[in-house]
A and B are shown apart, each in its own frame.
Chain A
Amino acid sequence: MSTEHDGETTKRTLGRGDFLKLGALTVGSGVLAACGAEGASEPEPAAQGSTEKAEERPPIESEPGDLNILEWAGYEYPTLGGKGGPLQPYVDQYGKPKYAFLTSDDQALGKVRAGVTPDIVHPCVSYVKDWVDLGYIQPWDTSLMPNFKDLNPSLVKNAQYEGQQYFVPLDWSFSAPMYRDDMVEPEGGEDTWAVMYDDRYSGKISWWDSPLENFLIWGYVQGFDPYDWDQWTDDVLGDATSYLIEKKKNVRNFWSSEPDMIADFKNGNIWIAYAWGNAFSQVKSSDVSVVYGDPKEGRLSWNCGLVLAKDTENYRHAHEYANAWASAEMAAWLIPNYAYGHTNTTVSTADIDPALVEAFKLDDPTALEEPKAHIERYAPDRRRFARAWEEVKAA
């Protein structure tokens, strides 16, 4: 599985930049060292690295209980699950959490650096190392989450960093070009990522406002593996930037809020967009004729989940919330409603519309991997891509 590759990538790219980051955050690295020492001696897949045993922590009643969550739009209660849905038991018992919204993983990192201090964040797995480097998160105590054992073991292992369970993997799905099949005909008749650059549909295209993915897409269209970081010489990056700047004139806007993009699709403002599976199921239900592409270069795939703030005062509340997310009820709601996969393995997809199951391979988490799709991977020099993306946006 991609775990080995991931680990290899991580170790291989532990270069100057990472060393400096780790060394500089002395407090963070102190904790990391302590956790790392503990974790290294425990080879089980779900390692616990918290510096306190669960029993030594104060009881839940002594916590303030004002859980602050940095989430994707659409994952907040009550939009997620509705009233009476999988989060309702948590809300009934502990109250409704406060949500702040992130528009991308990069932006979430930026927000936290700029002083927003959530108890829980919902990033995607390729960013775990970034969060650890930032010194903001601590590993989860999986013994506090009864539902944790039901989660897919290989995704759980993939979510660890240096043996510590920093990340609870929860939702997964794809990113692909979604388009109106009554208005758009991809070049060459086959689904392709190149439809995002198609001059014929100028003004009806929307890209996601996030640096890395846009460059990955270009790389795949060019025909090389964009996760091979050595390929991204300054020249190559420059070429990509110029190409994107040129094709930008076809783009109506860079979407940053999924509900916005969905609305634009429903209203006919946009015919082609970089989209996650949820957008497809929402738009499809509104009689706009839309197709979730399966590009010949391969879809991108992702696995997102929850991380825990190091300085949280709501330790047990956070675990309760994460447990609610990991539950079979959540999986049973998420899969048919958002057309996303969920890492809880006890849920059967038998009752779900087979067309959806087929389209998103909902019963097969290995569908996230090569060569069927390109699972997200850690990027060592995000700033470089962020700067190039800024150039594209500003041009």
Chain B
Amino acid sequence: MDIAISTTGRHLLKALFAVLCLLLYAPLALIVVFSFNDADIPTELPEFPFKGLTLNAYREFIANPELTAALVTSAKVAAAASAAAVVLGLLASMALVRRRFFGKALASAFLLSPLVIPYVVFGIALLILFHEISFPLSMWTIVIGHTVIALPFTILILSPRLARIDVRLEEAAHDLGASGFRTFRSITLPLMTPAVVSAFLVAYVVSFDEVVIAQFVAGNTVTFPIYLFSQLRFPTNFPQVLAVAVVVMAASLLVVLAAEIGRRIVERRLHIELEGRADEAPPPTSAEPAAPQAERV
């Protein structure tokens, strides 16, 4: 018998999964449906009944300068924040994985701590900081905030990947006379590419959708979620917002899928070429085998 599950259990769980997915996707389906709704008053939040099909919302949002500007701003902010988070994440990962130093546990806990800070508190604290040093609020203050919250994500993605790269490759490069940076640039970084891309994408999504911190430190800047929130409260062009949402949803799903597939393909190829082991080999159940190797040479 299958010790993990009985046949009735299996059916029950399948059903539960289906029901819950339905529940999770119902709101999203509503968004898609309403984006085609022919609402004659754009200044009202859509409610039933559904009035009729139209592509107006999609047409109009492209022509709406505020909406498109907000999208562009969010894209820029996310790009900057992700880049910064990936760079900082790479530095941190290199230190945490390849170096020994005192207080490593504390450092790693500190670097990961933004994961659990309530964003309301962080947004306000940042606002206070900028206020005290009279630093004007702008797109860059949002970038700063987003970099902080994206950093743990990039570290969590980059570190395991770095750890799996055989360090003897780097040592070979050193033995051949390459400097630390050259080694990093020519050996480590290319091997890390899939993880770097993943980290960048995750940071991008985190930043693009983030609104609490943005709300507090944006000043006059309008990012897409800020525009959304303003439309929820003061709907002037609401159906267009739904149309954008559908487009963004589709786009991010595509990007994530592509990234996942791409990552797996590249990883598989790299593994076969350089590390000579297949993905499916089970990881060692303890680190014991590695230690004697370290001492041996």
Contacts and interface: CB of A to CB of B under 8 A. Distances in A.
Q: Do chains A and B touch in the complex (CB under 8 A)?
A: yes
Interface of A: 68, 73, 76, 79, 96, 98, 100-101, 103, 114-118, 256-257, 259-260, 263, 267
Contacts of A101: 230, 233-234
Contacts, number: 45
B236 A256 contact: no
B44 A259 contact: yes
Contact of B131 (A98, A115, A117): A115
Given A79-B43, A259-B44, A263-B44, A117 B236 contact: no
A259 B130 CA distance: 34
B127 interface: yes
A253 to B, nearest CB: 13
Interface in B66-83: 66
A117 B219 contact: yes
A184 B289 CA distance: 80
Interface string B114-131: 000000000000010011
Interface residues of B, number: 21
Given A68-B220, A100-B220, A115 B233 contact: no
A79 B236 contact: yes
B195 interface: no
B225 interface: no
Contact of A116 (B65, B131, B219): B219
Interface in B11-48: 43-45, 47
24 contacts: A73-B233, A73-B234, A73-B236, A76-B236, A79-B236, A98-B66, A98-B220, A101-B230, A101-B234, A103-B233, A114-B131, A114-B216, A115-B130, A115-B137, A115-B217, A116-B137, A117-B219, A256-B233, A257-B234, A259-B43, A259-B234, A259-B235, A260-B45, A263-B44
Contacts of A118: 220
Central interface residue in B136, B233, B234, B236, by most chain A CB within 10 Å:
B234
B220 A116 contact: yes
A117 B220 contact: yes
B231 to A, nearest CB: 10
Interface string B221-263: 0100000001001111000000000000000000000000000
Contacts of B217: 115
Contacts of B131: 114-115
A104 B44 CA distance: 20
Given A73-B233, A79-B236, A115 B127 contact: yes
A96 B66 CA distance: 10
A73 B234 CA distance: 6
Contacts of B230: 100-101
B46 to A, nearest CB: 10
Contacts of A267: 47
A260 B137 CA distance: 29
Contacts of A79: 43, 236
State the 6 A-B residue pairs at the shortest beta-carbon distance, nearest first: A73-B234, A115-B137, A257-B233, A115-B219, A101-B234, A263-B44
Contacts of B47: 267
Nearest to A269: B47
Contacts of B219: 115-117
A231 B101 CA distance: 66
A73 B131 CA distance: 27
Nearest to B135: A115
B273 to A, nearest CB: 52
B131 to A, nearest CB: 7
A379 to B, nearest CB: 25
B19 to A, nearest CB: 29
Nearest to A73: B234
A283 B83 CA distance: 50
Nearest to A256: B233
Nearest to B65: A96
A337 to B, nearest CB: 14
Contact of B127 (A114, A257, A259): A114
A285 B202 CA distance: 49
A260 B45 CA distance: 8
Contacts of B130: 115
Nearest to B233: A257
B233 A263 contact: no
Contacts of B220: 68, 98, 100, 116-118
Interface string B43-65: 11101000000000000000001
Central interface residue in B131, B220, B235, by most chain A CB within 10 Å:
B220
Central interface residue in B65, B222, B233, by most chain A CB within 10 Å:
B233
A259 B44 CA distance: 7
A256 B222 CA distance: 20
A263 B45 contact: yes
A314 B236 CA distance: 26
Contacts of A263: 44-45
Contacts of B137: 115-116
A115 B43 CA distance: 28
A257 B233 CA distance: 6
B236 to A, nearest CB: 6
Contacts of B45: 260, 263
Nearest to A68: B220
Given A76-B236, A263-B44, 7 more contacts: A79-B236, A100-B230, A101-B233, A115-B137, A116-B220, A259-B44, A267-B47
A5 B118 CA distance: 47
B129 to A, nearest CB: 11
A257 B55 CA distance: 28
Central interface residue in A68, A103, A114, A257, by most chain B CB within 10 Å:
A114
Contact of B233 (A98, A114, A116, A260): A260
Contacts of A115: 127, 130-131, 136-137, 217, 219
Nearest to A66: B220
B3 to A, nearest CB: 51
A118 B219 CA distance: 9
A76 B230 CA distance: 13
A256 B235 CA distance: 13
